[in-house]
């Protein structure tokens, strides 16, 4: 759906121009568009219209609310910086939020990296998850969703949005489209995961069309991310892994996949500078920065292989700001 020219504030042309620029270089920018609509509504609520993006407007709109996480505020700040830089390039007056102020109070969530033993316990808990009258295939779907996220490093949104045609049971590949950064990618599956997908297809997808969702909800459409999140918490409890308000999270299965890959490569004396582009493409990162952060985490978690990691690619290892790597 084309929703161009639906902004109403005095900055509507700049807002639409910024969106056009982002999408022209390949970003879907869906979340950014949603936030810009909120900003547009905020501008309309002000007593006076202005064609400038003033310091007062930026600081007031990016001010942290009492009920929100720091990462949510950082999202607004990042958006305002991007918008201001675009307006400046267009010759318009705009206050650019200083980058130095953004980094002072960055939200830094350190991912929880599951051990191999914990992964096995999670799989066991999934396979023995209680049945549901409302959703008779819940246990089967949950088991495969969790294995896909860990086995292929997928995001939960990418997983639940898969269609039948996206999962090639003959080739053993998964086609990922409509991703966070607008990139498509083809992911190979391990033979064990391919076998599970084939068994799952017979049990759940017989008679379904190619355009049907691979993980269909009994209530129509596909299983929702929030539903899987809730079930995963119960799985952690059943697996004996304590859960707090800060994690472990479902997304940590994806982080764990990346770290386990790097650990395996390090122990095999693989050249990390050659491996990193593969990991970046596999995870669907916008660039190498998102994947490089896993090098630091891998070195921190496994001191016995730190020397191997740093010997091959110390120049690649950054300081970790995890909110940027999703």
Q: Both 75 and 213 in a single domain?
A: no
Question: For the chain, how far is it from start to end, CA to CA, in angstroms?
Answer: 26
76, 104, 132 - which closes a domain: 104
Q: Both 20 and 99 in a single domain?
A: yes
Is residue 241 one of the residues assigned to a domain? yes
Per-residue pLDDT, 305: 53
Is residue 6 one of the residues assigned to a domain? no
Closest by CA to 247, choosing from 143, 108, 61, 138, is 108
Q: Both 117 and 266 in a single domain?
A: yes
Which segment of 41-50, 86-95, 117-126, 244-253 scores lowest on mean pLDDT?
244-253
For residue 321, pLDDT over 50 is answered with no
Distance CA 320, CA 112 (A): 14
Whole-prediction pTM value? 0.63
Q: Both 269 and 297 in a single domain?
A: yes
- CB crowding 177-211: b at 16 or more within 10 Å, else e: eebbebbeeebebeeebbebbeebbeebbeeeeee
191-224: per-residue pLDDT in tens? Answer: 999 999 999 999 999 999 999 999 999 999 999 9
In this structure, what are the phi and psi dihedrals at residue 249, rounded to the nearest 5 degrees? -115, 165
Is residue 57 one of the residues assigned to a domain? yes
Instruction: Using pLDDT thresholds of 50, 70 and 90, give the confidence band for residue 323.
Output: very low
For residue 308, pLDDT over 70 is answered with no
For residue 185, pLDDT over 90 is answered with no
For residue 5, pLDDT over 70 is answered with no
Give the residue numbers spanning the domain of 32.
12-104
Tokens of 262: 């790097």
Is residue 214 one of the residues assigned to a domain? yes
Q: Both 54 and 71 in a single domain?
A: yes
**Structural domain count of the chain:** 2
Q: Both 73 and 100 in a single domain?
A: yes
Q: Both 221 and 136 in a single domain?
A: yes
In this structure, what are the phi and psi dihedrals at residue 132, rounded to the nearest 5 degrees? -135, 130
Closest by CA to 264, choosing from 160, 116, 144, is 116
Q: Both 170 and 185 in a single domain?
A: yes
Is residue 219 one of the residues assigned to a domain? yes
Q: Most confidently modeled of 209-213, 264-268, 307-311? A: 209-213
Is residue 246 one of the residues assigned to a domain? yes
Q: Both 98 and 159 in a single domain?
A: no
Distance CA 203, CA 65 (A): 47
Is residue 287 one of the residues assigned to a domain? yes
- The three-point CA angle 75-186-142 to 5° equals 70
Distance CA 316, CA 292 (A): 6
Per-residue pLDDT, 4: 58
* 3-class state of residue 262 by DSSP: helix
Helical H runs in 201-250?
225-238
Stronger pLDDT, 273 or 260, i.e. the higher one = 260
Give strand pairing partners of 213.
Answer: 163
Q: Could you say which DSSP state residue 165 is in?
A: G
Distance CA 156, CA 137 (A): 18
Q: Both 183 and 202 in a single domain?
A: yes
The chain-wide mean pLDDT, for the chain, equals 83
Q: How far is CA 31 from the centre of its chain?
A: 12
For residue 324, pLDDT over 50 is answered with no
Instruction: Using pLDDT thresholds of 50, 70 and 90, give the confidence band for residue 28.
Output: confident
For residue 238, pLDDT over 50 is answered with yes
Strand order in the sheet with 185-188: 167-168, 173-176, 185-188
Is residue 43 one of the residues assigned to a domain? yes
In this structure, what are the phi and psi dihedrals at residue 9, rounded to the nearest 5 degrees? -80, 175
Q: Both 92 and 129 in a single domain?
A: no
104, 134, 161 - which closes a domain: 104
Q: Both 260 and 280 in a single domain?
A: yes
Per-residue pLDDT, 315: 35
CATH number at residue 192: 1.10.443.10
Q: Most confidently modeled of 21-25, 139-143, 290-294? A: 139-143
In this structure, what are the phi and psi dihedrals at residue 188, rounded to the nearest 5 degrees? -80, 145
104, 130, 150 - which closes a domain: 104
Give strand pairing partners of 222.
Answer: 216
């Amino acid at each position: 759906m084309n929703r161009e020219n639906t902004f109403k504030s005095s900055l509507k042309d700049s807002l639409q121009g910024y969106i056009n620029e982002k999408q022209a270089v390949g970003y879907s920018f869906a979340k950014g568009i949603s936030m810009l609509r909120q900003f547009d509504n905020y501008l309309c609520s002000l007593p006076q219209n202005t064609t400038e993006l003033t310091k007062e407007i930026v600081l007031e709109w990016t001010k942290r609310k009492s009920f929100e996480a720091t990462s949510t505020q950082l999202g607004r700040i990042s958006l305002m910086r991007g918008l201001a830089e675009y307006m400046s390039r267009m010759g318009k007056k705009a206050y650019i939020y200083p980058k130095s102020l953004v980094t002072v109070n960055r939200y830094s969530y350190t991912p929880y990296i599951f051990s191999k033993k914990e992964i096995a316990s999670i799989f066991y808990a999934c396979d023995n998850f209680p049945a549901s009258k409302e959703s008779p295939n819940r246990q089967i779907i949950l088991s495969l969703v969790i294995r896909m996220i860990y086995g292929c490093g997928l995001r939960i949104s990418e997983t639940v949005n898969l269609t039948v045609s996206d999962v090639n049971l003959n080739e053993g590949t998964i086609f990922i489209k409509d991703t966070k950064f607008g990139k498509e990618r083809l992911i190979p599956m391990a033979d064990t995961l391919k076998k599970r997908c084939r068994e799952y297809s017979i049990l759940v997808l017989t008679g379904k069309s190619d355009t049907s969702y691979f993980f269909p909800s009994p209530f129509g459409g596909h299983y929702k991310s929030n539903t899987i999140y809730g079930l995963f918490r119960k799985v952690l409890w059943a697996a004996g892994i304590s859960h707090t308000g800060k994690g472990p999270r479902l997304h940590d299965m994806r982080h764990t996949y990346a770290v386990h890959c790097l650990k395996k490569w390090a122990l095999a004396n693989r050249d990390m500078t050659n491996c990193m582009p593969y990991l970046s493409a596999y995870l669907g990162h916008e660039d190498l920065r998102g994947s490089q952060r896993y090098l630091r985490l891998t070195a921190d978690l496994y001191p016995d292989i730190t020397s191997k990691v740093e010997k091959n690619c110390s120049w690649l290892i950054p300081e970790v700001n995890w909110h940027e790597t999703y």
